[in-house]
Amino acid sequence: MLNQEIKKIVQNLWDRLWSGGHSNPITAIEQISYLLFMRRLEHFHPETPETYKWSNYKDKQGNELVMHMSAVFAYIQVSLVEDGEPFAKAMAKAQFEIENASLLESAIRYIDQIYEEIDKEIARNQHFHDVQGDVYEYLLSHTAEAGKNGQFRTPRHLIHMMAALLDPDTDGKICDLASGTGGFLVAAYQYIITKYSQEKSEDDDGLMKGTDGNLLSPEQKQQLKENLIYGFDIDRTMVQIGVMNLMMHGITKPHITHIDTLSAAYEAWEAQKMNIGDTVLSNPFLSGQYKYIMANPPFTGKIDSIGVSENLDRLYPPKYDKENPEKRVKQTVQSELLFLERIVYMLEDGGSAAVIVPEGVLFNSGRAHKKIREILMKDCELNAVISLPSGAFKPYTGVKTAILIFTKTGHDSEGFNTEKVWFYEMKSDGYSLDDNRKKLSENPLPKTVAAYNEVKQGQVNPEDRKTTHFYVPLSEIKTNEYDLSFNRYKEFVYEEKTYDPPKKILSALMEMEEEIMREMRELNDLIG
């Protein structure tokens, strides 16, 4: 948790940028990210020449400061990109837009104040990257506005719960194919650090948190920080913010790429990276790159099929012009379904995913919707469907959602690899289900994780459908056209209520009315 002084400084920084003309919160966090990287430049890149180090120019003023900051920015975009520095690569086509000298001086002063407070927190025995990461998360919270094109930040507590459900480790690559600000990747990293920490404590949501990771070997730590974290996003600004978020949390070499994972360009990128030249998605080298995938793909709804890879053809087989067989015909497709198909391809055999989907994916009767549910139960073992409470994504959207957890068993399987599916209903996520989303006293997230671990380990086999969780056999799901909605299988028990006779209710109301009148007369006598 950040202290109030840091929050106050961050708010002052936002207010100053706003008054200085940077009213778009995404643009503002982008510019703040550049300044934070400059502030930590010599840490990220020890070979930084003396003239470009923060300590040598932060006290400059006026036009001299503006010109010097432009020179530092150019150095980052040229020299550090050539050295393969992750954030520099992400900002290769970026622009530093704080050109007002007074505004720049203020921003630098506030960033220095933030790091002064971070130093105080470290003196109180806090871990540096823990505090620094929390600062950036708090900065990101100021961008929490309803997104366009279905993009909005997933609540942090739900992300951490999903990491605990997925249980990632250092035995394979971790990926988010629509990574945005990098929240899922940060959560996966923090979960692994916690798993291998000797000292742990509960966070505000009752989930475990550790910061030392002392049980990891030096080789494991290096692997985790440099080689295991992968993300992709179609928005270049989100790539920059995501990389900065990961680096602020201590991940030294995050691999975040600006690319559309639904496109053929993604397949070409994977092929080039592996130096195999074959971009056919069915190639076994391409259809199993990641051990763990966590994602909340954009709920963009219907999109144009042109630009979507032809290899994603099981849900929407490509159509071609009769007169020109080489020309694809446009058709409308559902992006969230295609993302699920892509995730199945990207998982290695035995790899697992935890994915948020709009609830319509679970029960819609369209051919593509039924097909993706069939794929999830054939190519994977569909482990769990966790129904999130309505309002979990407020104030961004009121769309009801669910978490799917599945483990890949093969590709394009003829038979089913799912025998039964565990359904769980979360009636609360520990926050009020209105636009304010205030923290409640209860902590239901650990209960959800514990219940899932119990069934996963075979400790229980819940069958009573009058409760909040139970198994449903594949045969019944097939009978219902692969419907995966919780309410389809929940048994609702009608409890008959009895009421007092009307005359007794009326008598009670009259007694209450007489009591009110008596107290009003007493009050009237008191005030004369």
Gap between the Cα atoms of 63 and 301, Å rounded? 48
Burial class of residue 450 in the structure, from the number of CB atoms within 10 Å of its CB (0-12 exposed, 13-18 middle, 19+ buried): exposed
Distance of alpha carbon 286 from its chain centroid, rounded? 24
CA dihedral 198, 201, 203, 207 (to 10 degrees): 70
* Cis status of the peptide bond prior to 358, with omega within 30 of 0: no
Q: Is the pLDDT of residue 189 over 60?
A: yes
- Closest by CA to 33, choosing from 79, 85, 91, 110, is 91
| Mean pLDDT estimate for the chain | 89
Phi-psi region of 123 (alpha: psi -120 to 50; beta: other; left: phi over 0): alpha
Measure the CA–CA gap between 27 and 149, rounded to whole angstroms: 17
pLDDT band for 273, please (50, 70, 90 cuts).
Answer: confident
Closest CA to 255 of 362, 141, 174: 174
Class of domain 156-318+325-489: alpha beta
Question: Helix/strand/coil (H, E, C) string of 50-96?
Answer: HHHCHHHCCCCCHHHHHHHHHHHHHHHHHHHHHCCCHHHHHCCCCCC
**With 80 as the cut, is the pLDDT of residue 187 above it?**
yes
* Angle CA 84–140–86, to nearest 5: 5
Q: Where are the domains of the chain?
A: 4-141, 156-318+325-489, 496-528
pLDDT digits (tens, 9 = 90+) for 424-475: 999 999 999 988 889 999 999 999 999 999 999 988 888 899 999 999 999 9
Give the SS3 label for residue 370: helix
pLDDT at 237 over 50: yes
- Helix, strand, coil percentages in the chain from 3-state DSSP, rounded to 5: 45, 15, 40
Q: Which among 383, 352, 349, 428 is positioned nearest to 188, based on CA atoms?
A: 352
Q: How far apart are CA 493 and CA 404, in angstroms?
A: 26
Give the integer Cα–Cα distance in Å for 247 and 267: 27
pLDDT (0 to 100) of residue 132: 87
Tens-digit pLDDT profile for residues 61-70: 999 999 999 9
Helices (H), 249-334: 264-274
Q: pTM for the whole thing?
A: 0.87
Q: Which two tokens stand for residue 239?
A: 């790539």
Residue range 380-384: mean pLDDT, rounded: 97
The tokens describing 90, both together, are 């992400």
Residues 83-130: tens digit of each pLDDT = 777 888 888 788 899 999 999 999 999 999 999 998 888 888 777 777
CATH number of 4-141: 1.20.1260.30
Helix (H) or strand (E) holding 5: helix 4-19
What is the pLDDT confidence band of residue 149, given thresholds at 50, 70 and 90? very low
Report how far residue 262's alpha carbon sits from residue 128's, in angstroms, rounded to the nearest whole number.
Answer: 37
Look at residue 280 in the predicted model and tell me its pLDDT: 47
Helix (H, G, I), strand (E, B) or coil at 185: helix
Q: Tell me the per-residue pLDDT of 326-378, one tens digit each, with 9 for 90 and over.
A: 788 888 889 999 999 999 999 999 999 999 999 999 999 999 999 999 999 99
